[in-house]
Structures are given as structure tokens and as C-alpha cells.
Structure 1
Amino acid sequence: MLFESLGLKPDLIIGDFDSVDPTVLQKYNEIEMIRYPERKDATDGELAIRAALERGCDDIELYGAIDTRYETDHLLANLLLLKLARGLMKDPATARSVRAVDHRQHIYLVENEKLQLAGKSGDFVSIIPLNEKIAVSIIGVEWELDKSEVTMGSTWTLRNRFASSSADIAIAGTALVVHRHS
């Protein structure tokens, strides 16, 4: 299981476990497990997000959601789970963060808000609009923008490089922000 390789100990293990070796699950028999049938109306990722929110979590990190070996349909759906999570939060304005994480990148859902990313010179940041039009302001990168209109489908805001150790981003609208570590 992914959390083993990351040195994390889960509070809850949830899903249909169709791709998990049963001997691995036995190592975690002291941890609460919720098993679902393989044929269900939601992915394991969605079930995990809903369970976390029901337990009062306001900081959601999705691990394994952006695995490049994954099927494209799951990859896209997992990224849209960031939007679902924000929508299901009791008070999205006070939520600390919703993001998908892997060893090379963090992907954030940003909705009418500011985001400060800590990194290093040479890191990449991409902004992908999820609305027809968004306004983007970004400083601390090679190609700074000030309330620039970006349309959905445009590649204008892909692969901007950090010029320093941080990037400050403001989005009017909804976008995915990808921070890839160099």
C-alpha cells in the first residue's frame, strides 16, 4: 500500500481492496477498515474523501491520485475530486488545503483565492483554468502576470518557472495549480 512506502500510518483504511494483497491488509488489523463491494457508485478515492470530511478533516491530501501508470479516466476523475472535496467541506473558506500529491508535484484546486507556493528557483508552476475565463496574477516567476485573462483550454499559463524561492498566485475563478519540483 502506498502509505507504507511513505512511512504513513492511516487512521482509516477504506475501499474495495481489489488491488491489495490480503497479507498486506493483515498487518493493519488494528486499524479501522471499511470494506466496500467492487461494484459501487463511487471510487475508493471519493469514498475516502467523504469519510475524511465526515470525521471533520479540513486538510485533504490525495496520494496515489496522480500516478502516471494510472488509467486516464481515474487520473482526471481524481483531479476533479479536489473540486468535490472543496464543495463538500462545511466551510470551504476556512479549509486549509485540498491537494493531490506525489513525489514530484503538488496539485491544488484554487477558487477565488490566493496561494503562496514555497519552492526553489527552477521549479515549475502551471495554472489550468476550470472556468471559461479566469483572471490570474502571479509573481516570483519568470513570466509574471497581473490580472491577466486566461481562457479554458489555453496553454499560456503552463510551465512557468520559479524565479525565486516562492511564487504568489491569485486566481479569480477556479483553476488547478500544478507545482512541479525540479
Structure 2
Amino acid sequence: MSSSICFLFGAGEYYDSYPIMPKTNDYIIAVDGGYNYNKQMGITPHLLIGDFDSISSSSDISEFKGELLQFSPHKDYTDMHLAVKEGIKRGYSCFVIYGGLGGRTDHLVANLQLLAWISARNITAYLIGDNQVITAITNSSISYPDILKKNRSNKLLAPAIGKYISVLSHTNESKGVTITGLEYEIKDAHITNEFAIGTSNSFVSENYSISVKEGTLLIISEYR
């Protein structure tokens, strides 16, 4: 797997802050209407993928000089999911997703489910929102600052004292959940997706860890 980052630009909402941006060795995928935002931002994607129902005009597609993968609108996977699968096929194990939140609620929920699908394959992904980042872990753990050694994208989970971080169960049950270094700590707890007990925890130190023995956790954090 590549140590570089695969950046995905979707057709959802964009905000004033871009906490991490592509470098020379990273790979950029415009996901359907996300290409409109790439053009506004002056970013040239390597790949344009989707059924192209949300691109501004057909001329945008014909003028694109990179690789093009077009799919029928009648498909099982969302455009974003297809983009992630393509990135994995090309050897990437870390994804940063802009334009994956806001907009249509069904796409927002689908992208949260996509995070769970990604984490179940031991791959890292971050959905970037308005001063917040969302990721997922499955039968795994994160420990800050240790995760900085794995990939530069993990700086997105850097603690900001007083900022919120929520830890929620995506699966019906998450067993063996341990949280240390946050305002509210738990040890070997059993939480479910019917009770959002992990909402609005907060950073109180520069070191913290979150782990789950069995299940998938969604982690929603305000970034610096």
C-alpha cells in the first residue's frame, strides 16, 4: 500500500478551512460534481469518476485531460464509494474526503456508512466538514501522538484543548471500548448505536487513546 494520500473531492459542501491539502506524491480523484470545485480551487485531478449527473456541463468532461471513468446512473455503488474502491485498487490506504458532507442527507449518511466499510478493511479515511473531521475504527485503536508516525493525515486528529470529540457506535454493539486522555474516560465498556453516550466529550491533554475490541466506532472531532 502507498504511504501517500488519496484525496477525494465530492459534490457536497465546502468550507473556508482546508486543514490538509494534496502534495506532489498524492493522488487526486474528482468525484462527479466535485470536479466543479476542483476547477474553482485550481486543483487538477488525476482521475474524474462518476455517472456525471452533477457536473456543471458536458464541456467540463470533454475538456478534462486526465483519466476518465464514467458509470451508468443505474448502479449499486455511490460515486464516492466507486472512487474509494478505485483508490484502493491503485494501492492507497489513506483517504481524505472533501465535499462528502452537507448537501443531500442521503449522501451524507451514505458517506458515514462508507467510512465504516473502509475501516473494516483496515484502511484509514477522513471526512472533512466545517471545522470538524470524521473517521471510523473497527476492532482497532488510535493513540495520539503515536498515530502521527503512520501517515501525515493523522494530524487531523490532533487534540485541541477544550474542543469537542464524540465517539459513537456505528455497529449495533461496540464491545471493549476504552477511552483515555479525554474529559470522560471509560474502560472496556459496551456501547450501542441506540444510545449516543459518547457525544460531546472533550480534549483535556495532548495525549489520548480510543480503542474498541469488537465493533465500529465513528469519531467526530473538532480540529485545530
TM-score normalised by length of structure 2: 0.68
- Show the counterpart of 1:160: 201
The reply on whether 1:32 has 2:67 as its aligned counterpart is: yes
Q: Which runs of 5+ in 1 are unaligned?
A: none
2:88 corresponds to which of 53, 70, 88: 53
1:1-182 alignment, distance < 5 Å: 1-4=36-39, 8-22=43-57, 23-25=59-61, 29-67=64-102, 70-87=103-120, 89=121, 92=122, 95=123, 97-115=124-142, 116=144, 117-129=157-169, 130-173=171-214, 174-181=216-223
Structure 1 residues 26 and 82: alpha-carbon distance in aligned structure 2, compared to 1, 3 A threshold: same
Q: Alignment length, in residue pairs? A: 173
- Quick check: 1:100–1:108 contact (8 Å CA) kept in 2? yes
Q: Which runs of 5+ in 2 are unaligned?
A: 1-35, 145-156
**Which whole-Å CA distance do the structure 2 matches of 1:180 and 1:133 have between them?**
23
Identity of aligned residues (%): 29
Cα RMSD over matched residues?
Answer: 2.2
Q: Larger strand proportion, structure 1 or 2?
A: 1
- Quick check: 1:120–1:166 contact (8 Å CA) kept in 2? no
Q: Give the aligned residue type for 2:211.
A: A
Query: Per-residue displacement from partner, 1:1-49 (whole Å, max 9, x unpaired)?
Result: 334456643221100121111254455x221111223232221111111
TM-score normalised by length of structure 1: 0.82
Structure 1 residues 157 and 7: alpha-carbon distance in aligned structure 2, compared to 1, 3 A threshold: farther
Structure 1 residues 38 and 143: alpha-carbon distance in aligned structure 2, compared to 1, 3 A threshold: same
Deviation, 1:177, is 1.0
**Which whole-Å CA distance do the structure 2 matches of 1:101 and 1:11 have between them?**
20
Structure 1 residues 161 and 58: alpha-carbon distance in aligned structure 2, compared to 1, 3 A threshold: same
